A and B are shown apart, each in its own frame.
Chain A
Amino acid sequence: MAGDQKPPPRRGEPTSTAWTALGYLLAGMAVWGFAGWLVDRWLGTGGIAIGIGIVLGSAGGIFLVMKRFGA
Chain B
Amino acid sequence: VIEQLSILAKDDLPFPPKVEDFFLPAIYPWGEANAPWVTKFTVLIWLAVAILIVLFLVAYRKPKLVPTRGQWLAESFYGFTRNNIGKDIIGPEGVRFAPYLTALFAFILLTNLFGIIPGIQISPMSHIAFPAFLALISYAIYNYQGIKRHGLLKYLKLQTMPPAPKVLYPLLVPIEFFSNLIIRPFTLALRLFANMFAGHIILLVFTLSGFALLASDNFFIKAMSPFAWVMAVVLTLFEVMVAALQAYVFVLLTAVYVQTSLAEDH
Contacts and interface: CB of A to CB of B under 8 A. Distances in A.
Interface string B218-231: 00000000000000
A20 B162 contact: no
A27 B253 contact: no
A9 B259 contact: yes
A63 B164 contact: yes
B176 A30 contact: no
B112 to A, nearest CB: 17
Contact of A19 (B171, B174, B249): B249
B172 interface: yes
Interface in A11-41: 12-13, 15-16, 19-20, 22-24, 26-28, 30-32, 35
Interface in B59-106: 88-91
Given A23-B183, A27-B179, A61-B175, A15 B164 contact: no
Given A4-B91, A63-B164, A23 B187 contact: yes
Given A23-B184, A32-B171, A35-B174, 10 more contacts: A9-B259, A12-B88, A24-B175, A26-B179, A28-B179, A32-B175, A57-B175, A60-B168, A60-B171, A60-B172
Interface of B: 88-91, 162-164, 168, 171-172, 174-176, 178-179, 182-184, 187, 249, 252-253, 256, 259, 264-265
10 contacts: A13-B89, A16-B89, A16-B252, A24-B175, A26-B179, A27-B175, A35-B174, A56-B171, A60-B172, A67-B162
Interface of A: 1, 4, 6-7, 9-10, 12-13, 15-16, 19-20, 22-24, 26-28, 30-32, 35, 56-57, 59-61, 63-64, 67-68
